[in-house]
Amino acid sequence: MVVRCVVVCRRGVGEAVAATIAFALLSIALAYVILNAVPLLSNAPSTATGAVLGGVEQLVVIMRKDTVLEVVNVGSAPAKVEGVVVVNSSGDIVVMSIASSGICTSTPSGVAVPGSSIFVVCNSTGVVDYKPVGVVTEGGRVFAISSRIEAYAEKATGIPIIVLYGGVKVSSTSTLVELLYDRSMLYSNAINTTMPMTLSIDSSSTSMSARVNASLVIVGLNPISNKLNLLAIGFGASGNYVYDGRTNVSLARAGALRYRLKVEGFAGTLQINNADASPGIYPCYINTGKQCRVTMTGTADAIKLYTNTTSTAPQVTGLDPYLFVGDIDADNNTETIFITQDFTVGRSSTFNDINPQFGQRLALDSSLKPVRLIVGTVRGSQYSTAVLSIRFFYWDNSQDDVSDNDNRVIMRAGLVDPVTGDVRYSVSLSYYELCRYRNVVPFQVSYIAKDFLVYIPNEDKEFQIFVELVDPYSNTGYRNDADILLGLSYVGMTLTSR
C-alpha cells in the first residue's frame, strides 16, 4: 500500500494565506483602473529578473496569439509558473491559477527550465474571453508583456513571499548538497548507528537491475528530468541482489542485517509487490509486519548501495543513505526527507527499531550533528524581522509517545552568522508537539504548516537563514530510542523593513 499525503494546517496559517492572496488579487484588479489610459498590450517581449536560491530567475514573455503566451527561461534557475495574468472581455485584469481555474493551461509542463520554453494557453468560456498578458511564478514574481503590469503588480502585493525552498530548486542529492552548511557530513561524522554500513556499489550513468525485499520504500519524481528517485530500506533474503552493470551484490549475505539502496534518475520498470510503482511512501513492514518485494530494471543516473558490515560495534557514518530527494505526491514540488527509520515500531517496554529476523539486533540511528540546510540570506541593516513559513511532515516509530521519549528538539530554524558560525536567533519544534500530528500505525503522511517569527540583529552584515532537521534519540535502555521520518516540503519568507 502506498501512502500519499493528507494536509494538516493550523487555522491561523490558512486564514493568513487566504487574506494575502485575496489582497493581492484585489490589488492587481485595481491596476486596470490606474493604468487604463496607457496601452497595456504589446507583442514586444518583456523581461524581468529575480534572484532565487541556486540561480537567477529570468523569463521572457512573448505574445504569440491573442490566447497564447510563450514563456522563455533565459535565466539560470528553473521557474515554476503557477498563475496567469489575463485581461477579460470586460477589460478587467485578473490573476488565475493554472491548477484550479480550468481556463488556462501550460504545456508541455508548468516548469520552464533554463534554455527552454513553455506555452500558456487561455480559452474562452463561451461567455467571457481571456487574453493572457503575463505569468506569476511560485515565488510571486510577475513576468508580463508590459513592464507597467510587472511593476504595479509586484508593488501592489504589499509583502511578497520569497520562496527559499520549494518547487524544483532541489531535485537530487547533488543539488541538495549545495544547501548543506557542512557538506562533509554527507560522507562522514553525521549519524550514530548501532548497525554499521559500508558502501558496496557507487555507480553513475549505468544500466541496472535489482530484486530486493524492503521494509520501507520511498519513490519520488524528479520534475526536471521526469525520472524517478528511490530509497529502499530493508534486510536481504535469498535471491535478493543489486546489479549495476559491473558488480552483482547478493543481499542474502551482504545485506542480511540491513541495507539501504539509493537510486536517482531511474528510467525503466519499477514494481512493488508485482504492481507498477508510483510516487509515494510504502510503509511495508510498519503496516503489515512483512517486507515488500521491489523489482527494477532500467538505467540510472546514480546508484548507491549501502550494506551491513561484520562489525557489531556502534559506528559514526555519513548522511547520504539517510537522505531522500524527490516529489512524492506528483505536484512538481520536491521534498527533502531525513529518514532514520528502518524496520519496526516499539514501545517504552521494547526497543523501537530492530531487525526482526535477528531478534534483538538493534537498528537505532541518531544525529551526531543536525542536518543544517542554508536556504537563503538576509541583511540585518535592511530588515528587522522575518516570518518563515515552513511546510513539512513528521513521523516516528514510538507507540507510547511521551512515556517513551523525553521532549527534545526535532526541527529548528533561524539565523547563523556565516563568519563566526554562531546562531544569532532560532525557534524550534520539539517532540511533544510534533508527535501530536502523526499516527504511528497505520503510517500516514500528514503535512504541517508552521510560521516562525525570526528577529534579525540590526547589524550591517548578511545572515544565513537555516532550517535544521535532527533525530536526537539514540537510546537509554528501552526509552529515548525513536527513529523518524522528517520531510521538508516548502520554506517561504516575508520580511519587514527597518
Candidate from 387-391, 393-397, 482-486 with smallest mean pLDDT: 387-391
- Using the predicted structure, report yes or no on whether residue 37 has a pLDDT greater than 60: no
Q: Is residue 477 part of a domain?
A: no
Q: Give mean pLDDT, residues 105-128.
A: 86
Taking alpha carbons only, the member of 334, 336, 335, 343 closest to residue 319 is 336
pLDDT averaged over the chain? 84
- Using the predicted structure, report yes or no on whether residue 432 has a pLDDT greater than 80: yes
pLDDT tens for 47-95 read 333 444 445 678 888 888 888 999 988 777 788 898 888 887 777 777 8
| H helix count then E strand count, the chain | 7, 35
Please return the burial class of 400, using the count of CB atoms within 10 Å of its CB with bins 0-12, 13-18 and 19+: middle
- Using the predicted structure, report yes or no on whether residue 27 has a pLDDT greater than 70: no
- Using the predicted structure, report yes or no on whether residue 2 has a pLDDT greater than 90: no
Is the pLDDT higher at 144 or at 483? 483
Q: Is residue 403 part of a domain?
A: no
25 — pLDDT class (breaks 50, 70, 90)? very low
Determine phi and psi for 123, rounding to 5 degrees. -110, 155
CA distance 119 to 108: 7
Q: What is the CB neighbour count within 10 angstroms for residue 91?
A: 10
pLDDT of residue 160: 62
Q: Give mean pLDDT, residues 239-265.
A: 95
Helix 147-156 × helix 11-35 angle, to 10°: 140
- Using the predicted structure, report yes or no on whether residue 42 has a pLDDT greater than 70: no
Q: Is residue 23 part of a domain?
A: yes
Going from the C-alpha of 413 to that of each of 132, 249, 473, the distances in angstroms are 39, 41, 19
Is the pLDDT higher at 43 or at 269? 269
pLDDT tens for 185-204 read 999 999 999 999 999 999 99
pLDDT of residue 18: 42
Q: Is residue 498 part of a domain?
A: no
CA distance 327 to 80: 14
- pLDDT > 70: percent of the chain: 85
CA distance 346 to 262: 26
Question: What is the number of structural domains in the chain?
Answer: 1
43 — pLDDT class (breaks 50, 70, 90)? very low
1 — pLDDT class (breaks 50, 70, 90)? low
pTM for this predicted structure: 0.73
pLDDT of residue 147: 56
Q: Give mean pLDDT, residues 237-256.
A: 95
Q: How many residues does the chain have?
A: 498
How is residue 77 annotated by DSSP? S
Q: Is residue 24 part of a domain?
A: yes
Instruction: Give residue 32's domain range.
Output: 5-160
Q: Give mean pLDDT, residues 454-471.
A: 96
3-class secondary-structure state, position 124: coil
Determine phi and psi for 204, rounding to 5 degrees. -140, 150
Determine phi and psi for 174, rounding to 5 degrees. -65, -30
Task: Give me the DSSP letters along 150-178.
Answer: HHHHHHHTSSPPEEEE-TTS--SHHHHGG
pLDDT of residue 26: 37
* Pairing state between β 323-326 and 445-455: unpaired
pLDDT tens for 111-122 read 988 888 899 998
Candidate from 140-154, 276-290, 416-430 with smallest mean pLDDT: 140-154
pLDDT of residue 48: 38
Bin 155: left if φ > 0, else alpha if -120 < ψ < 50, else beta. Answer: alpha
- Using the predicted structure, report yes or no on whether residue 483 has a pLDDT greater than 80: yes
pLDDT of residue 360: 64
Q: Is residue 195 part of a domain?
A: no
pLDDT of residue 55: 53
pLDDT of residue 29: 40
Identity of the amino acid at 349: S
Candidate from 46-50, 159-163, 304-308 with smallest mean pLDDT: 46-50
Q: Give mean pLDDT, residues 8-16.
A: 38
Q: Give mean pLDDT, residues 119-148.
A: 80
User: Contact, 143 vs 59, CB < 8 A?
Assistant: yes
Determine phi and psi for 342, rounding to 5 degrees. -120, -60
pLDDT of residue 168: 82
pLDDT of residue 36: 36
Q: Is residue 106 part of a domain?
A: yes
| HSE value, Cβ hemisphere, 13 Å, CA-based, for 363 | 30
- pLDDT > 90: percent of the chain: 57
321 — pLDDT class (breaks 50, 70, 90)? very high
pLDDT of residue 162: 81
Q: Is residue 152 part of a domain?
A: yes
375: Cβ contacts below 8 Å, ≥ 6 apart: 53, 164, 165, 179, 465, 466, 467, 491
CA distance 236 to 261: 11
pLDDT of residue 123: 84
